[in-house]
Chains A and B, each alone.
Chain A
Amino acid sequence: MSSDLILISIVIPIVMSLITITTGKSLARKTIVSATLLIILLSALAMLKVVNVPTVINTSFYGIIDKLIKVGDYILLLYTLYISFKVKEPKIAIFAILQILSLAFFELFMLKEQEINTFYIDNLSIIMNLVVSVVGPIIAVYAFGYMDHHEEEKKLTKSRQSRFFAIILLFIGAMNGIIFSNNLMWIYFFWEITSLSSFLLISHDKTEEAIRNASRALWINMLGGFSLLVGIIILYKYTGIITLDSLLKTNSSYILLVPVFFMILAAFTKSAQMPFQSWLLGAMVAPTPVSALLHSSTMVKAAIYLILRLAPTFRGTTLSSFIALYGAFTFIATSVLALSQSNAKKILAYSTIANLGLMISSIGINTSSAITAAILLLIFHAVSKALLFLCVGTIEQNIGSRDIEDMKGLITKMPVTTIITFIGILSLMIAPFGMLLSKWMAIEAASKNLVVALLLIIGSAVTVMYYTRWIGNILSEGRNSKFFVEKQSSTIRFALYSLVTIAIVLSLAVTQLFNTIVKPEINMLKMSVSVKAASGYLESNLGGFTIYPVFFAIGLAIILAILTIKNSRDIVQTTPYESGLNYDDSKNGYDIKNYYLPSIINETVMTKYMNYISLILILAIFGGILL
């Protein structure tokens, strides 16, 4: 039964994507896609109930799938070569050829047939599956309304949405493949499919800029894929291991660290850590659902998933502390770079890279509470960041600009979206929401390692700064504006409301979340559970955080404020103080911009220096293997 569920979640999206690409009519396409998404969601929820973890599952289909994947690898790489000729980007061709040669060498000369379990599931797989299967369909439903409007704006005669949704379904299937596969070669195959779908989706609009950014994304991800393949080959050559379950069963020895380094390097490229961050920033030219789905919630989380899987192998080594330092450096460097941005999608992109750096840093610290923090960060960040990207997409379609300076006074034009964006940004950086709780746990876990702790602390203060000025912009209001519910298409409304509800509910229920899903995972990784959670109080041996009083205080403030506003007979409305002259906004108005600190933070110059430092750190990680 469980193997059927898993096969459904991987195979059906891929098959349905092939069907979708042929469907021309909008209604038929929407029905097929919605049905597929519903199946994915239901199978994820069913797996939550049915599957007993941890377990390995065998199916009789293993042989067929393995052969298909072996062939598919070569087709994929040849298609990538074709793409590199079409877009005239030779770097893609270099890495594709390197991969073809290594793959052929490996499979013809080294690989021997073995008895292999098909799927490996534990609580981490269930968590990732839920993230992909809940957030993914919500974003895809949002994309129904968004892409219609998008194509209207671009005045396209022939709709290209069937290609769009087909690739999204293919991508969701590939993500499920990465999460559940046991054979490392399968993981490599699905990894490359996600790189390819990222290229196809970023270049969806077929403009010059989009194709350029998509090619850059493709060659950096191909570099990662090559690194993953090299890691797998080295692992097989020295230990004969090709599957996850045998990798996790062996004693962690020295010899494992070299292939693990290459696999982690692949994860760094996919999660756009420095110095590979340029592809994620360039990918913001893609339509918003793509940014929300691929580049903040799911694909970049696949990299974190891989590092989490490999975490037991490098626990307690110098490699681990250097990874923590590298993640912390990325966190602070990209947070500081985000301070200089005023483009909303770029701020969100830098923030995504920063939070991924925070997760990698927590995994590098590799204690029980640090891994708990990393898993909780993964869950909360996926939901909140997707919500924010969708809000920015809605705002952009309405006012025609992505710049946060143009979002001044948004609450008068789009009240509901503004309040949802406000709650979304709060859920990313303020106690008592889940992100801050996990950040608290990460800082407490990191405090043994002084340099990492210093970097994380400064980075989180900078985070508060660049989000607060965004909130201030969208909430600034003139006189006498009334609250009204604006017109929104029903799919957009459904997506935004459901994501904001999930964000708030998950933050309230963080202790239940911890006890049901995360604690068994920590047990499974053979670490002692040092975090106790009960009814809103999360306690480790370093301290405790209680969330219910803080939620209560915020609720009390909301109630008091609403009561005061309702009794508004004795409240006098006035204009701001402008030395007695009352400027009218329209006639002789003034404009105040936020601090962007261009004299201190110059994006190009700073990026160059940060790239150098991060390269040195990566070399240090490699050197850490020898220590």
Chain B
Amino acid sequence: MTWMEYLVFAIAIIVTPIIGGFITGLDRKVTALIQGRYGPPILQPFYDVTKLLSKEKMIVNDFQIFAAYIYLLSAILSIGFFAIKADLLMIVFIMSIGLVFYIVGALATRSPYSQVGAQRELMQMLAYEPLLIFVLIGMYYVSGSFSLKTIMSHGRLLLDLPLIFLVLCLVLDIKIKKSPFDFSTSEHAHQELVRGILTDYSGPYLALIEIADWYELVLLLSMIAIFWSQNLIIGALISLLILFLDIIIDNISARMTLKWMLSFSWIVGIVFTVVNIGYLYFSNVSR
């Protein structure tokens, strides 16, 4: 890697949590406005994380510390690699390291809530991870490579891959755990299992997981943004629009069941991917 790439890597790592925090704060403000109340200030997530970082360290199990650090470090690495335009499939696999440790960190405590939450998170991962790689296969089909550089130089992905764009939006909805997909853990005051997978994390380690969630949010929004890579400003606006749609869906729907989520996401994912790529194959779009 050249020194320019190191610089881009470092800047991306430092700037992303700030962007992620602002987007989360906007999320809560917009939710509150939809519900007809004032809601917290936009800087609220930063206050939350700072407070959590300064609380007493309280753990159940030494392994939780390790799991929280790896979740954060793998999220940081995947954003960094995304910024230097590396291979997308590698980025997805690096994200899955963090996810596995996040789940194992909760399974390693003997609490009923975190164990059931972790099992549910496993099923959620089973639902969205194949879909994410299907999106990458669609991008490969159109541009001939998995590397982000080539994909971005191809441009106009939204016009060639509209159904795959919808699959990616479904992945975003499942990953940021908004209704109807908030089984394992959910936003404040919607809990079903006492915060589910996050029940036994507290203090600084909860803050690390929160920051890692910001990194992943920005990563997924950027993946949506590259669908219009000629003009990244419009791409960013598209991704924020999709987030706004997700907030609206969150406020109007209830939590569904795991079986519904699994069957819905797989059927939508497989059918949309096959139809979209089949259409491209038969109309011979060049790649």
Assess the A554–B108 pair: CB atoms within 8 A.
no
Instruction: Flag whether B112 is at the interface (Cβ < 8 A).
Output: yes
Does B60 lie within 8 Å of A573, measured CB to CB? yes
| Residue B129 is within 8 A (CB to CB) of chain A in the complex | yes
Q: Does B18 contact A (CB under 8 A)?
A: no
State A197–B221 Cα separation when bound (angstroms): 57
Please report A residues at the B interface, Cβ cutoff 8 Å. Answer: 409, 429-431, 436, 440, 443-444, 447, 450, 453-454, 457-458, 461-462, 464-465, 468-469, 471-473, 475-479, 541-546, 549-550, 553-554, 556-558, 560-561, 564-565, 570-579, 585, 590, 592, 594-595, 600
Q: Which residues of A contact B96 (CB under 8 A)?
A: 430-431, 464
Q: Please report the C-alpha to C-alpha distance between residue A479 and residue B147 in the assembled complex, in whole angstroms.
A: 46
- B107 touching A475 by the CB < 8 A rule? yes
Inter-chain CB contacts under 8 Å: number:
184
Q: How far is the CA of A541 from the CA of B112 in the complex (A)?
A: 48
B74 CB within 8 Å of chain A:
yes
**B57 within 8 A of partner (CB):** yes
CA–CA, A550 to B86, complex, Å? 13
B270 at interface, CB cutoff 8 A: yes
Does B103 touch A at the CB level, under 8 Å? Answer: yes
Kindly supply a per-residue 1/0 record for chain B positions 60-80, scoring 1 wherever the CB is within 8 Å of any chain A CB and 0 otherwise: 111101100110011011000
Interfacial chain A residues near B66, Cβ < 8 Å: 557-558, 561
Q: Closest CB-CB distance, B15 to chain A, in whole Å?
A: 19
Q: CA of A544 to CA of B274 in the docked complex: distance in angstroms?
A: 26
Q: What 4 A-B pairs have minimum CB-CB distances, sorted nearest first?
A: A472-B107, A576-B111, A543-B87, A543-B146
How many whole Å from B59's CB to the nearest CB in chain A?
A: 6
Closest B residue to A561 by beta carbon equals B66
Is the Cβ of A430 less than 8 Å from the Cβ of B97?
yes
Q: A443-B89, A469-B119 are in contact. Are A457 and B77 (CB under 8 A)?
A: no
> Is B93 a contact partner of A554 (Cβ separation < 8 A)?
no
Interface size class of B (residues with CB under 8 A): 35 or more
Residue of B nearest to A545 (CB): B90
Q: Given known contacts A553-B74, A570-B57, A571-B57, is B122 in contact with A465 (CB within 8 Å)?
A: yes
> Which residue of chain A has the shortest Cβ distance to B113 in the bound complex?
A577
Task: Indicate if B110 sits at the interface (CB-CB under 8 A).
Answer: yes
A419 to chain B, nearest CB (A): 11
Q: Which of B81, B86, B94, B113 has the most CB of A within 10 A?
A: B94
B112-135 CB contact bits vs A (8 Å, 1 = yes)?
111110110011011001100110
The answer to whether the Cβ of B88 comes within 8 Å of any Cβ in the partner chain is yes
A-B contact pairs, 5 of them (CB 8 A): A447-B146, A543-B145, A557-B73, A576-B113, A579-B194
Report whether B110 and A461 are in contact in the complex, using a CB–CB cutoff of 8 Å.
no
**Interface presence of B100 (CB below 8 A):** yes
A585 to B104, CA, bound (A): 20
Using A472-B108, A557-B70, A576-B114 as known contacts, say yes or no to A431 and B65 having CB atoms under 8 A apart: no
Chain A residue at smallest Cβ distance from B119 = A595
Rounded to whole angstroms, the CA-CA distance of A144 and B115 in the bound complex is 39
Contacts of A577 in B (CB 8 A): 111, 113, 194, 199-200
A465 to B100, CA, bound (A): 9
> Contacts A447-B140, A595-B123 given: A471-B104 contact, CB under 8 Å?
yes
Q: Are A546 and B90 in contact (CB under 8 A)?
A: yes
- Residues on B with C-beta less than 8 A from A595 are 119, 122-123
A447 to chain B, nearest CB (A): 5
Q: Which residue of B lies closest to A594 (CB)?
A: B119
Identify the closest chain A residue to B278 (Cβ): A450
Which residues of B are found within 8 Å of A453, using beta-carbon distances? 137
Question: Do A476 and B73 touch (CB < 8 A)?
Answer: no
A429 neighbours in B (Cβ, 8 Å): 100
- Within 8 Å by CB of B112, from A409, A462, A578, lies A578
Which residues of B have CB within 8 Å of A471? 100, 104, 107
Assess whether A565 is in contact with B62, with CB atoms less than 8 Å apart. Answer: yes
CB distance from A62 to the nearest CB of B (A): 49
Shortest A555–chain B CB gap in Å is: 10
In the bound complex, CA of A565 to CA of B66 (Å): 10
Q: 4 extra interchain contacts, Cβ-Cβ under 8 A, other than A429-B100, A571-B59?
A: A464-B100, A545-B90, A554-B97, A561-B62
Flag if A585 contacts B90 (CB, 8 Å): no
A550 touches B77 (CB 8 A): yes
A554 and B130 CA atoms in complex are apart in Å by 24
CA distance A574 to B111 in the complex (A): 12
Task: List residues of B whose CB falls within 8 A of some A CB.
Answer: 56-63, 65-66, 69-70, 73-74, 76-77, 81, 86-90, 93-94, 96-97, 100, 103-104, 106-116, 118-119, 122-123, 125-126, 129-130, 133-134, 137, 140-141, 144-147, 194, 199-200, 259, 266, 270, 273-274, 277
Separation of A429 and B114 alpha carbons in the complex (Å): 23
- The listed residue (A450, A461, A575, A585) touching B125 by CB distance below 8 A is A461
**In contact, B134 and A575 (Cβ under 8 angstroms):** no
> B122 — which chain A residues lie within 8 A by C-beta?
465, 468-469, 595
* Given A443-B133, A461-B129, A475-B77 contact (CB < 8 Å): no
Of the candidates A476, A543, A549, the one whose C-beta lies within 8 Å of that of B110 is A476
Complex Cα–Cα for A585 and B111 (A): 11
If A541-B145, A554-B70, A557-B73 touch, does A454 touch B90 (CB 8 Å cutoff)? no
Cβ-closest chain B residue relative to A565: B62
- Residues of A within 8 Å of B81, CB to CB, are 549
User: By the criterion CB–CB under 8 Å, are A575 and B57 in contact?
Assistant: no
**A550 touching B94, Cβ below 8 Å:** yes
Partner of B126 from A431, A461, A574 at Cβ < 8 Å: A461
- Report the Cα distance A167→B93, complex, angstroms: 42
Closest residue of chain A to B274 (Cβ to Cβ) is: A450
A471 CA to B67 CA, complexed, in Å? 13
Q: Is the CB of B110 within 8 A of A553?
A: no
Instruction: Name the one of B74, B93, B104, B125 contacting A440, with C-beta atoms under 8 angstroms.
Output: B93
Question: Is A431 in contact with B93, judged by CB distance below 8 angstroms?
Answer: yes
* In contact, A592 and B112 (Cβ under 8 angstroms): yes
Q: A447-B137, A546-B90 are in contact. Are A574 and B58 (CB under 8 A)?
A: yes
CB distance from B80 to the nearest CB of A (A): 8
The distance in angstroms between the C-alpha atoms of A312 and B115, with both chains bound, is 50
Inter-subunit contact B87/A544 (CB<8 Å)? yes
The residue of chain A having its C-beta at the shortest distance from the C-beta of B281 within the complex is A450
CB-based contact B129/A542 at 8 Å? no
Task: Evaluate contact between A450 and B93: CB separation under 8 angstroms.
Answer: no
How far, in angstroms, from A444 to B88 measured CA to CA in the complex?
Answer: 11
Residue of A nearest to B80 (CB): A549
Closest Cβ–Cβ distance, residue B71 to chain A (whole Å): 9
Contact B86 A557 (CB under 8 A): no
| Complex Cα–Cα for A18 and B100 (A) | 49
Q: Is the CB of B109 within 8 A of A576?
A: yes
Q: Which residues of B contact A553 (CB under 8 A)?
A: 70, 73-74, 76-77
Q: Say how far B254's CB is from chain A's closest CB, in angstroms.
A: 22
Docked CA distance A571–B59 (Å): 7
Task: Contact check, A542 vs B104: say whether CB atoms are below 8 A apart.
Answer: no
CA of A331 to CA of B77 in the docked complex: distance in angstroms?
30
Closest residue of chain A to B65 (Cβ to Cβ) is A561
- Set of chain A residues within 8 Å of B90, measured between Cβ atoms: 431, 440, 543-546
A585 in contact with B56 given A457-B133, A471-B104 (CB within 8 Å): no
A578 to B90, CA, bound (A): 39
CB-based contact A543/B88 at 8 Å: yes
Name the B residues within 8 Å of A541 (CB-CB): 145
Chain A residues with CB under 8 A of B129: 461, 464
Q: Are A549 and B109 in contact (CB under 8 A)?
A: no
Known: A454-B270, A576-B114. A542 touches B109 (CB 8 A): no
